[in-house]
A and B are shown apart, each in its own frame.
Chain A
Amino acid sequence: DVKVTQSSRYLVKRTGEKVFLECVQDMDHENMFWYRQDPGLGLRLIYFSYDVKMKEKGDIPEGYSVSREKKERFSLILESASTNQTSMYLCASSSRQGGLETQYFGPGTRLLVL
């Protein structure tokens, strides 16, 4: 069974804190993605990575950075959290053969920034 796990289901942080969201996949997938999900806006792509140490900006990268030091792990970093980053964050992965569309999603991390 394919598995994408995210380090936390719920997080509460204060404005200005540095926040790390971790995502791990056990499928040996090359591609990994971070989205945020907001009511009425669907999913919006923050960053993605095609390989270790590679990263590409998505549609809304401002205020975020990422790290991919190992193939199975893709981290999303909020350098200085702000209240407008309160959201649900979803990680996904896919194989190069499968194409970008065959993405497998983790359960999500609901982040509240106070």
Chain B
Amino acid sequence: AQKITQTQPGMFVQEKEAVTLDCTYDTSDPSYGLFWYKQPSSGEMIFLIYQGSYDQQNATEGRYSLNFQKARKSANLVISASQLGDSAMYFCAMREPGTGRTGGSYIPTFGRGTSLIVHP
């Protein structure tokens, strides 16, 4: 079973509109962290936003906010007022305690990504 599921392979949005990118996760550990990264066409991975499992409020970073619904195990990324430069791949990731020789280490797992295209 996938730990991180991003069900939208591709999304389109009009410039200046808001868009929500979906992410659901699967873990039985009460302590975990959720992240979103952006990968523009140039290829680098850019950290956007973080949400901890014990955080009471949804995380926000400028135009990015994370709609964290713990009971539903979802961590959707909301981008407000989309810009042309937001066109990119977006990856949801989770850190949870690992197993094996490094048990207790929080190993990140990534989803398959969502391609966002912003139209003018």
A-B interaction? no
